[in-house]
Amino acid sequence: MTFLTGWGRTSPTPATLVAPRTVAELAALVAGSPPRGLIARGLGRAYGDAAQNAGGLVADLTRLEPGWSLDPATGVVTASGGTSLHDLMTGLVPKGWFVPVTPGTRHVTVGGAVAADVHGKNHHLDSSFGAHLRSLTLLTADGTTRVLTPSDETFWATVGGMGLTGVVVEASFGCVPIETSRVRVEVTRTRDLDHTLEVMAATDDGHRYTVAWVDLLARGARTGRGVLTRGDHARRDEIPRARDPLAFAPAARVAAPPWAPNGLLNRATVRAFNQAWYAKARERRVIQDIAPFFHPLDFMEGWNRMYGPRGFVQYQFAVPFGAEDVLRRVVSRLSADGVVSFVPVLKRFGPGTPGMLSFPLPGWTLALDVPAGLPGLARLLRVFDTWVAEAGGRLYLAKDSRMRAELLPVMYPRLAEWARIRQSLDPEGIFRSDLARRLGL
Amino acid sequence: MRNALGAVDSVLLLGGRSEIGLATAELLVRAGARTVVLATRPTPAAAARAADGDGPAGRLTRLGAEVHEIDFDAARPETHAKAIDTAARLAGDLDVVIAAFGVLGDQAAYEDDPVSAAESVAVNLGGHVSAGLSVARRLREQGHGTLVVLSSVAGVRVRRANFVYGAAKAGLDGFAQGLGDALHGSGARVMVVRPGFVKGRMTKGLPAAPMATTPAEVAVAVVQGLRDGSPVVWAPRGLRLVFTAMRVLPRALWRRLPR
């Protein structure tokens, strides 16, 4: 038995970890009807308990028939489910292609990106990962594989379906042509939350990638002040005559100290960081490499340990346009309570996918990390949940580790439709995770 | 499943009328638990209460929980495994199991009637052994869950005044600690709770001992212990220090303690 947690390092549970090398091996495991079920796990970047299965089987997919191929004519990549976006980028970028969507880390698998229908800084223009998929190969509970296309309802139950419809063993998706491996970045500071929202709404569509960092420790008139970062793939003529415009070599990773105590990220250290970050962010335009722009935290291996042994909770919600007041209330409350969150991120979402449990909806999303040991956190987040649900918003299941099951059908109105499809695919509930048990999925 | 902030979904209360057990279940429901199974000795009175919805089940239901009532007789160990299976069928994974059944009895009466003394030990210790082992087997399979065992300071050092009860609690405390060790590494845990004198139905008519507490206060300590993952909870907390001293008190003095 191996104790597993999500990236937030809370609620460890033991499971039998298996690492099938072939789809046949994986199919045999599934066909064996493990009494406590099976769930696929990639690189363990889901924050909560989506890739844990207490007392059951957890299939590590990172060694499952590795490999991917690119059709250079169409830019369509076909990759095995366990392929990481890091490996893909390492191969694709020098060829002049970029993944259609990347979350804040490259260390996620294609299967995980499908199961969580991940979004990136380009959601307002390009939607989420599912929108770029051409086909999926899904291993289902009966031990067979089926190829799904966006015209199948099972396809959309799987995109965002948190691995509970089956295992995504292969996926094909369109990539984005790039001239260089650099990003032209514009940085702007905002005065307060309303200013942040205003600037984003007015200028987001002019940039492929945008994101705002929010200073949650700023109070009074400065509540919700932020640093807005907008980027576009740089054209060849915009970068200095470098030897190789498509070079992709992310800096070697440094490891976070394994002994980080609880409370290292406290109000004083985060306030100091926020002050420095805000002060540093003068209006400027720079050319950056892909890695620091898209995946700033990847340079530190195991940064999640910085929250200490009790771990942390990531709270990410989305609310539709028109519900900006929920954002204001959440930010004011966090700011008033002095809640420490290291890198709170605000984004503007565009159209979602037809994924039944897919998270993004047209509107705003705010993501924050909070130490799990913070007194009163459970109550505070429950209040936020209510505000979000009442506004027609939702929480991100790939990050959730503590929401109440009752709110799920409110936040995900297509839950019943999803459950019907899942029930027909997997009547005995072979695909099971701690997340599924906790939320009654 | 227990969530990242320590809240749980399901609670099984063995000894479904225990005041401490019910107070704990109520706090857990208020913190988000959705399913409660009350395992109670089948009596006509219990059946009547269940039917009118005005008893503990009704209260927990009004707080938003789905409540099930099942038969559980601590004195019949051969039925325990089945009762745990029934509870798991109703609730799914058992996140918290509170073993709160027991009888206090009267020491003088026990000394007059050794058979009744043995019967009370069969409930206070034997019942916990069969129920605890059945629960442990289930929690081990699940890979998670906490068995909360209501021990007592009476078992920490047994006193002349209630040594039949105290001896059973001493045995129970040792059993629970050993069971906790046996489950180490399985993901499942045992939490031993050692309340002092608890003012409630069980101690009605008895003069309160120093540092007396209430079922509600013990429940708060239990929930805090669950959140912190404590192996042992003293209620009130100060008793831990008191009993550190009591353990080494010379026996000649110890046996003269009034109660």
Question: Is the pLDDT at A257 greater than 80, yes or no?
Answer: no
Question: Is the pLDDT at A241 greater than 90, yes or no?
Answer: no
| Secondary structure in 3-state letters for B50-101 | HHHCCCHHHHHHHCCCEEEEEECCCCCHHHHHHHHHHHHHHHCCCCEEEECC
DSSP string over A161-198: STT-S-EEEEEEEE-EE-S-SEEEEEEEEESSHHHHHH
Q: Where are the domains of chain B?
A: 10-256
Do A159 and A253 belong to one domain? no
Instruction: Give residue A124's Cα distance to chain centre.
Output: 15
To the question of pTM greater than 0.90 for the whole model, the response is yes
Do A79 and A195 belong to one domain? no
Distance between first and last Cα of chain B: 43
DSSP state of B7: -
User: Hey, what amino acid is at A264?
Assistant: L
Nearest-Cα residue of chain A relative to residue B29: A404
Question: Which of B6, B9, B143 comes nearest A14 by C-beta?
Answer: B143
Q: Which domain holds residue A329?
A: 182-402
Do A170 and A220 belong to one domain? no
The C-alpha atoms of residue A387 and residue A92 are separated, in whole angstroms, by: 42
Question: Is the pLDDT at A262 greater than 90, yes or no?
Answer: no
Radius of gyration of chain A (CA): 21
Res A99: pLDDT = 98
Nearest-Cα residue of chain A relative to residue B229: A11
Is A311 in Cβ contact with B1 (below 8 Å)? Answer: no
Half-sphere exposure of A2 (CA within 13 A, CB side): 12
Res A264: pLDDT = 77
DSSP state of B125: I
The C-alpha atoms of residue A24 and residue A2 are separated, in whole angstroms, by: 24
Q: What is the CATH number of the domain that holds A365?
A: 3.40.462
To test the contact with chain A by mutation, choose from B1, B66, B186 the residue with the greatest count of A C-beta atoms within 10 A, namely B1
From A178, A209, A234, give the residue that closes a domain: A178
Do A164 and A232 belong to one domain? no
The C-alpha atoms of residue A155 and residue B75 are separated, in whole angstroms, by: 54
Is A12 in Cβ contact with B1 (below 8 Å)? Answer: no
The percent of chain B in helix, strand and coil, each rounded to the nearest 5, is 50, 15, 30
Question: Is the pLDDT at A67 greater than 90, yes or no?
Answer: yes
Question: Is the pLDDT at A212 greater than 80, yes or no?
Answer: yes
Q: Would you state the structure tokens that stand for residue B93, as one six-digit string?
A: 């994974």
Query: Residue A167: inside a domain, yes or no?
Result: yes
Question: Which of A13, A55, A377 comes nearest B5 by C-beta?
Answer: A377
Query: Residue A363: inside a domain, yes or no?
Result: yes
DSSP string over B101-120: ------HHHHHH-HHHHHHH
Do A202 and A73 belong to one domain? no
Nearest-Cα residue of chain B relative to residue A399: B4
Question: Is the pLDDT at A339 greater than 90, yes or no?
Answer: no
Res B49: pLDDT = 67
List, in sequence order, every beta strand (DSSP E) within A97-250: 97-98, 133-139, 145-148, 167-174, 176-177, 182-190, 209-214, 226-233
Do A193 and A268 belong to one domain? yes
Res B51: pLDDT = 60
Do A230 and A373 belong to one domain? yes
Res B195: pLDDT = 96
Do A172 and A186 belong to one domain? no
Neighboring chain A residues of B187 at a CB cutoff of 8 Å: 1, 3, 12-14, 54-55
Do A311 and A262 belong to one domain? yes
Is B142 in Cβ contact with A55 (below 8 Å)? Answer: yes
Is A14 in Cβ contact with B5 (below 8 Å)? Answer: no
Nearest-Cα residue of chain B relative to residue A312: B4
Mean pLDDT over A101-113 rounds to 97
Residues of A with CB under 8 A from a CB of B: 1, 3, 8, 10-15, 35-36, 48-49, 54-56, 311, 313, 372, 377-378, 381-382, 401-406, 434, 437-438
Neighboring chain B residues of A372 at a CB cutoff of 8 Å: 4-5
Q: How many domains does chain A have?
A: 2
The region of weakest confidence among A83-97, A370-384, B147-161, B195-209 is B195-209
Neighboring chain A residues of B189 at a CB cutoff of 8 Å: none
Catalytic positions of B, please? 165
* CA angle, residues B161, B162, B168, in degrees to nearest 5: 155
The DSSP element (H or E) to which A346 belongs, if any, is strand A345-349
The order of strands in the sheet holding A38-41 is: A2-4, A13-18, A57-60, A38-41
Do A137 and A241 belong to one domain? no
Query: Residue A58: inside a domain, yes or no?
Result: no
Question: Is the pLDDT at A106 greater than 90, yes or no?
Answer: yes
C-alpha closest to that of B11 among B19, B3, B2: B2
Mean pLDDT over A83-108 rounds to 97
Spans in chain B with pLDDT lower than 50 = none
Mean pLDDT of chain A: 94
> Please, what is the angle between helix B215-228 and helix B19-30, to 10°?
50
Is B4 in Cβ contact with A11 (below 8 Å)? Answer: yes
Distances (CA, A) of A277 to A271, A343, B106: 10, 11, 70
Question: Is the pLDDT at A413 greater than 90, yes or no?
Answer: yes
The C-alpha atoms of residue A92 and residue A173 are separated, in whole angstroms, by: 13
Neighboring chain A residues of B4 at a CB cutoff of 8 Å: 8, 10-11, 48-49, 311, 313, 372, 401-402
Mean pLDDT over A199-207 rounds to 95
Residue B144 forms contact with A (CB below 8 Å):
yes
C-alpha closest to that of A208 among A358, A360, A318, A101: A101
Do A83 and A108 belong to one domain? yes
- Of the two residues B129 and A340, the one the predictor is more confident about is B129
The tens digit of pLDDT for each residue in A273-322 reads 888 888 888 778 899 999 999 998 888 888 888 888 889 999 999 999 99
Mean pLDDT over A369-373 rounds to 91
The C-alpha atoms of residue A81 and residue A64 are separated, in whole angstroms, by: 8
Res A297: pLDDT = 85
C-alpha closest to that of A303 among A250, A264, A248, A277: A264
Nearest chain A CA: its distance from B144 CA (Å): 6
CATH number for the domain running over B10-256: 3.40.50.720
Q: What is the CATH number of the domain that holds A76?
A: 3.30.465.10
Do A352 and A374 belong to one domain? yes
From A161, A178, A195, give the residue that closes a domain: A178
The region of weakest confidence among A65-74, A252-261, A308-317, B3-12 is A252-261
To test the contact with chain B by mutation, choose from A339, A434, A435 the residue with the greatest count of B C-beta atoms within 10 A, namely A434
Give this complex's ipTM.
0.91
To test the contact with chain B by mutation, choose from A11, A403, A432 the residue with the greatest count of B C-beta atoms within 10 A, namely A11
User: Hey, what amino acid is at A235?
Assistant: R
The C-alpha atoms of residue A310 and residue A377 are separated, in whole angstroms, by: 13
Question: Is the pLDDT at A253 greater than 80, yes or no?
Answer: no
Nearest chain B CA: its distance from A109 CA (Å): 24
Instruction: Give residue B41's Cα distance to chain centre.
Output: 15
